[in-house]
Amino acid sequence: MIVRKLQEQDPFQTADGSTIRSILDRSNAPVKNQSLAEATLRSGGYTSRHYHRVSEEFYFILAGKGTIEINGELRRVLPGDGILIEAGAWHQITADGEENLRFLCCCSPPYEDEDTFFV
């Protein structure tokens, strides 16, 4: 059995500009098919618009307010919202509320910087 505590995971910057703390991924567990991380964007911050050729992503908003853009469609996101980002979909998320935007990010297959492509 493997259990990882979020607060014990070191934050790092992803290729898209968000700050991530991996909860479970290939770096800390024998993960094969997915990864789970907490992402944080400071108020006013945003990720670089990008896509993943292979990974499908789920975002689950924990705190803050934001706007997600997927393939040109904009949607307001709030705590409790789940978002599907299909592989190959261009996307960007912006923290446009007064507090930081925190969300869980699940990737299948597991997240890798090498699968992140920009304009």
Q: Percentage of the chain surpassing pLDDT 90?
A: 90
Q: Is residue 2 part of a domain?
A: no
**Residue 44 resides in a domain:** yes
pLDDT in tens, 56-67: 999 999 999 999
Q: Give the model's confidence band at 90: pLDDT under 50 very low, under 70 low, under 90 confident, else very high.
A: very high
The verdict on residue 15 lying in a domain is yes
pTM score, two decimals? 0.94
Do the domain assignments include residue 98? yes
Residue 38 included in any domain: yes
Q: Please report, for the domain that includes residue 68, its CATH number.
A: 2.60.120.10
Helix and strand counts by DSSP (H, E) for the chain: 0, 11
CA atoms within 13 A on the CB side of 110: 15
For residue 26, is pLDDT > 80?
yes
- Has residue 3 been placed in a domain? no
Task: Look up the domain containing 27 and give its range.
Answer: 11-118
Evaluate whether residue 104 is within a structural domain: yes
Q: What angle do CA 98, 44, 76 make, to 5 degrees?
A: 75
Residue 96 is assigned to a structural domain of this protein: yes
Q: How many folded domains does the chain comprise?
A: 1
Alpha carbons 114 and 111: distance in angstroms, whole number: 9
